[in-house]
Amino acid sequence: MPNYRRYYLPHRPVFVTLVTHARQPWLTTNENIAWLRICWQRVKTQHPFRHIAHVILPDHIHWLFEPTGESNFSAIVAAFKRDVTWSLKRANVGKGLPTNRLWQARFYEHLIRDQEDLNRHLDYIHYNPVKPGLVMRPTDYPYSSLVSWQQRGFYDEQWGEREPLTIQTMNLE
């Protein structure tokens, strides 16, 4: 098995993709997604981070966050995946949960380089449910941070109905 090396920069936003084991679509129920959100909050108390954006699709999650404490993004992701697994299995709420593993062992990460890179990843996250045909418009997808970004004035009401557009700038500092 290859030995992956990750590059860490403290207090730098990172885009991660977490994929379910064997791409099993267990991220489809309101209960399972509610547990994901609870786990994000619990992990945040142990490994502080600033949650920037997310989209939860049936078999994977795109998540953009910035570690703000001593923990690096790998520790945050590991704690999140572990907490979700333990919580769902303990609560036994997930209908159709896989019996063995919930997550693929590895995850994809990309450190955000600059403002343009941040904007591109925000657009990617928020437009992602349209690509596989889950919805026709990004605003129709309930498991995304798009609406909160619209409420802050970064996206207009019709964003993504025609084609992905670039949002206003969000300052990295």
The catalytic site residues sit at: 143
Tell me which DSSP letter residue 119 carries: H
CA–CA gap between residue 88 and residue 91 (Å, rounded): 5
Q: What is the DSSP string of 39-67?
A: HHHHHHHHS-EEEEEEEEETTEEEEEEEE
The helix/strand/coil state of 86 is helix
Structure-token pair, residue 129: 């449910």
Residues 144, 146, 152: CA angle, nearest 5 degrees:
140
